[in-house]
Amino acid sequence: GEIDTKKCGSMLVSDLAASLKPRYHFAALEKAYYERLPYRNHMVLQETPQHVTRFIALADVGNTSKKKYLYAFSIVPMSSMDPAELVKQPQDVTENPYRKLRKEAPKSKAPLSAEEEPACQFFFDLNKHQGKKRPSEGKERGDSQPKQAKKPPQPTGPCWFCLASPEVEKHLVVSIGTHCYLALAKGGLSPDHVLILPIGHYQSVVDLSSEVLEEVTKYKAALKEFFRSKGKRYVLFERNYRSQHLQLQVIPVPLDLCTSEDIKEAFTAQAQEQQIELLEIPEHSDIAQVAQPGTSYFYVELDTGEKLFHRIRGRFPLQFGREVLASEALLAQPQRADWRQCAAQRPEEAAQARAFRQEFEPFDFSLRD
């Protein structure tokens, strides 16, 4: 919000970016950090699919406002990538922002403005070898991928949780970070039942890149501190089964209602009743050590760091996590075990989101980054 994009930028650089179609476009003249959603380099159903472009603006090195000025990524040559993987379109892709600009450009080709800062960009070829012929255009461009695992399969249909998706109920969003966001749960067990969600499309925790996982950890710490200030502890669970986008359900439980041991016993007892093998993960281990990407599982984590895990091999009750927390042993609200029975009207949901956002603000690290 601090940069008026209508009053900055360069027509020449825009035209160059539209022509070259880089995988990554870095800019720094506005001295601010900004990472827009990736955009297409082809017209759907009219042109051959091409890779997307990601635009990243960075602030000055060591700036006093502590704005981001570093961007870590690894370089993978396009020639080494599978063609289908190269042109795969992420769920949050947008249309090319330069297309309309290029259509209007021929109307008037104005000379370079005296106020326009001269280009300070230097180009170099990381693959160039001394004395050898410069590679052809297709092989020359490097694939500057962020440090993350190979992206999981993209959703086959509309996703309710990819932040760029039109299906997202944005009135429930209460905090947006760089890689993740918080939203109130629709039909939550309580007014402060929240979800930690990745902005991009990821199937489960074990699929997350290191950057996204780091921000998930930050949100956990912020929520732990926030709920403790309210006299509550949180219970987090994930069901990686019959879902296509990672949802970390975070439900607060009053400290004077039950102990963390009571919560563990409630999950274990109900699991035994339903013949679900719920095992405790060792203290210094994490879920990535017991589950591979693509594995179906149910996972519980207490704010003490204790973790319970079940490897799903057949059918699994979709509301199991909510049923345990809503049971008489814990929140004593069994009528709220199914979220569909707890849905509220949109104005009420929006009011709850505003209230949570205001109370959470002092703990929200995304507002300080």
Q: Give residue-wise pLDDT tens across range 240-292.
A: 999 989 999 999 999 999 999 999 999 999 999 999 999 999 877 888 888 98
Q: Which two tokens stand for residue 80?
A: 């080494």
Q: What is the pLDDT of residues 155-173, one digit of tens each?
A: 555 788 888 888 889 999 9
Q: Residue 317: which residues within 8 A CB-CB, separation 6 or more? A: 274, 323
Q: Which two tokens stand for residue 1?
A: 């919000």
pLDDT score for 102: 56
Find residue 341's DSSP bridge partners. Answer: none
Distance between CA atoms of residues 342 and 269, nearest Å: 25
Q: Pairing between strand 232-240 and 173-176?
A: unpaired
**74: helix, strand or coil:** strand
Q: What is the pLDDT of residues 104-126, one digit of tens each?
A: 555 444 443 333 333 333 333 33
**Of all helices (H) and strands (E), which one includes residue 228?**
helix 210-229
List, in sequence order, every beta strand (DSSP E) within the chain.
24-27, 34-35, 54-57, 73-77, 142-146, 173-176, 180-184, 194-198, 232-240, 248-254, 279-281, 297-302, 307-311
Distance between CA atoms of residues 123 and 25, nearest Å: 12
Distance between CA atoms of residues 320 and 327, nearest Å: 11
pLDDT score for 289: 86
With tokens 């704005």, the residue in question is: 67
Domains of the chain by start residue, with CATH = 11-100 (no CATH), 170-363 (3.30.428.10)
Distance between CA atoms of residues 267 and 301, nearest Å: 11
pLDDT at 202 over 60: yes
Find residue 182's DSSP bridge partners. Answer: 175, 196
Q: Which two tokens stand for residue 367?
A: 């507002």
With tokens 């959470």, the residue in question is: 360
Q: Which two tokens stand for residue 302?
A: 């207490």
Q: What is the pLDDT of residues 325-361, one digit of tens each?
A: 999 999 999 999 988 888 889 999 999 999 999 999 9
What Å distances lie between residue 196 and 60, 67, 182, 252, CA to CA?
A: 31, 24, 5, 13
pLDDT at 153 over 70: no
**pLDDT confidence bin for 229, thresholds 50/70/90:** very high
What Å distances lie between residue 224 and 115, 145, 204, 301, CA to CA?
A: 50, 33, 21, 12
**Highest-confidence range of 12-26, 28-42, 59-73, 346-360, by mean pLDDT?**
346-360
By the 8 A CB rule, do 203 and 246 touch? yes
Answering whether pTM is above 0.75, one says: no
List Cβ<8 Å contacts ≥24 apart for 83-89: 85/150, 86/51, 86/143, 87/49, 87/50, 87/51, 88/151, 88/154, 89/40, 89/49, 89/52, 89/154
With tokens 């918080």, the residue in question is: 182
Find residue 24's DSSP bridge partners. Answer: 54
What Å distances lie between residue 159 and 166, 220, 258, CA to CA?
A: 9, 24, 36
Q: Pairing between strand 307-311 and 279-281?
A: antiparallel
DSSP label at residue 321: H
Question: Which has more confidence, 40 or 134?
Answer: 40
Q: Which two tokens stand for residue 335?
A: 């009528």
Find residue 280's DSSP bridge partners. Answer: 308
Q: In what order do the strands lie in the sheet with 297-302?
A: 173-176, 180-184, 194-198, 248-254, 232-240, 297-302, 307-311, 279-281
By the 8 A CB rule, do 91 and 245 touch? no
CA-CA-CA-CA dihedral for 257, 260, 262, 264, to nearest 10: 140
